[in-house]
Structure 1
Amino acid sequence: MGPSSPNIKSFFKGQEIFKEGQESSVAYMIKKGAVNIYKVLNNEKIILARLGEGEIFGEMGVISKGTRSANAEAADYCDLIILTDQIIFKLLEQCPKTVQYMIRLFVKRLARTGEMISAKGHRSNFTSICRILDLCYQNHLNLPREQAKKERNHDMGLEYNKLCKTIRGIILVSQGEIDAVINKLKSLRILEISDIRTGRAFPDRFVQIVDPLNFLEVSNNLFKELQKTAYTSTSELQVVDIYEVAEMLNSDPKILYKKIANEDFPETMFLFDRCKVSEWAAHKEPEYFSKVKKKKKGLDELEDIEDIIFVDNGTLKEVFNRLGYHKLGVLISIAQDDARKKILMNLARKIAQIVQDEVRGSVDEAEAEDVVFELFEMVREIKGGSK
């Protein structure tokens, strides 16, 4: 262990912080570096999570007054702030009594669920996923009204991405298997799935249990029936690279890269080799991951509204004078972030307000495509290029 102060402990890369089964007397907040949370199953080290600066770990054992449910080691050199049980319970006491009770109850149930799953050797990820889903949903339903109001779309049910993260943090299961279980329950109307469009390419997804009181009994009976029909769970996904995906879909890797960048590809399909990513990232500068350097495009490559950032201001002003208010309004309504800023920057303030008022609500997709095409055709005409 490296140099430390009364409230901070330092650990070198690979150094053990605590082991599964040890008594839990303190939790930790990562001030600097990173920490791996892992389990050892069948002599294989399985990393459950890699935590970074500002994240807290080890608190579950302290609140439940139990033992460590997993191992922790320094993934890099790290400084950890020690959170004693007195500090944790003092923070907990600042919450309303109902919230205190719910946190303690949730932690105990979560720990018990983890023990039950471990004791059975993960013989069934189907039932394990259902147990965790039930626990999370009961906690969701019992959330105090004031706290529930602060949660975005609380009445829609559990946020799917958060649910999946919780499940993967407790049991060793792939995203593909979680999706398979949820889709099976949905197809039998045991669950209801709702999608909300938020302006992103793929929607936010929420899960509701149709009959919360009988869910575990129904899911257990379902699993027995599925076993009779030779249902088998899949814990590993068949991995393919982007070139094979392009071939499967009769597409082109360059098009797929664009769809990924535009969030047109579900994020649940992205799986990375942890060790290879860490090895690759180690050779990059820290600022490499804080911003994206846009590659400049030629005139013939301009096609999406986001490509407007590659057009010089003088040309844009000339094009905008020819387009008219309505078409400018269409462009503003579909442009995002840098592209939108680029458009507004080349319009007088009063004109910008007028064109934004021209288009209210949804824009016809076909019309938007035509306007974007016309925009870049004018740009190419002015600049002397041709597509």
Structure 2
Amino acid sequence: MMKKADVGDKTKTFHKGQAIYKEGQSSGEAYIITQGAVGLYRLAGNKRVTLALLRPGQIFGEMGVITGEKRTSEALALDYTEVIVLDQTLLHTLLLKSPRPVQIITSYLVERVRALNALVPERSSSNTFASVCSVILLAWRAAARSGPKSEAAQISTVELSRTIKDILLITQTEIDEVLEKLARVHIVDIVDVKGTYYRTDPLLGTKKKSGEFVKERLLSIPDAERFARVSRNMAQDNPDANGAELEFIDLDDFARAVDAQPETILKKIAYGEVPPALFHFHKRQALAFAASKGQDYFQRAKRPRLKVEDLQNVDDVVGVDNATLEEALSRLGFYKVGVLAALAGDEARQKIYANLSKKIASVVREEVQRMPEPDPGEASDIEDELIGLIKSIKGISG
């Protein structure tokens, strides 16, 4: 193993989950791990492919420095990690000082890694069966949301297969095998839409039915929860060995992972409580949706008017009429109104101030500036009191 004195003394530290470098960035440094752990990944379609898990004493990032090419992978700190930094000059100096056979082997390894990297997109799912099932469920949920609620959602297996192949880069034969297995255990229903062949009678000139063909196959999921549960169990019996996972999940899966309702997640997104960096769109579908709506559709956003019975927290007062809000605030003391203003987002806070007299609004603003961080339990009680007053004024019980 190299001694620290041999490679320099420049070090960097990274906290758990921090990116050391990202795929596509320029390659100016290599690293030797002295503490912690690092994962190397590539993103292919909707999948993160695990290339390597590295420990202290191992080097990474050197291929880009040697070849001068951009990073072909992402390096992520898996724990609190310390690394020694090897810049391009130092790394080339070390290689030049090495024996000629070592230089030849290094050159060979560089080419070998290039070849392996080129193979990653060809099959980048650690469990093809599980990945196909995930895409099916995502596509079906999208169709269920956009279609009439009175009808069971059905999706074309032709369009579905095209989407799966775009994301997972697998063959139609593999997709058909998965669909057959799912239909066999009755967690999907596949209906054949048949067409008819006609031939013209050469003597009479009339058309006669000569046979039928399958024009389209439509897939539906009778029970999404059962589909997710059963397909997850089936995936354990259909493992692959590539070390990849789906990189993205939809709103329903995320809500289930954090034990919340999708509607609550949407509210948090609207209120700016979820980092925008977490939002991703399927490019083709998003642009198609945008084209269908037209350019003016995205120039301004209209907040849906909340029903009073749906109010949940102080930020929802933006949907309450001014007369009702003014009366509700008047029944609360300066301190409680101050706590509400401190909790509220910008839009709700401005509406609270607008429904107070100028003198009282000035007092409340001063109260907010002097106020320490509100106790969560007390703040929740005050929010509940405000919502209760609004509902009472509107004649709604509970």
Structure 1 and Structure 2 fold alike (TM over 0.5)? no
TM-score, normalised with respect to structure 1 = 0.43
Q: Which structure has the bigger radius of gyration?
A: 2
RCO higher in 1 or 2 (8 Å CA, sep ≥ 6)? 2
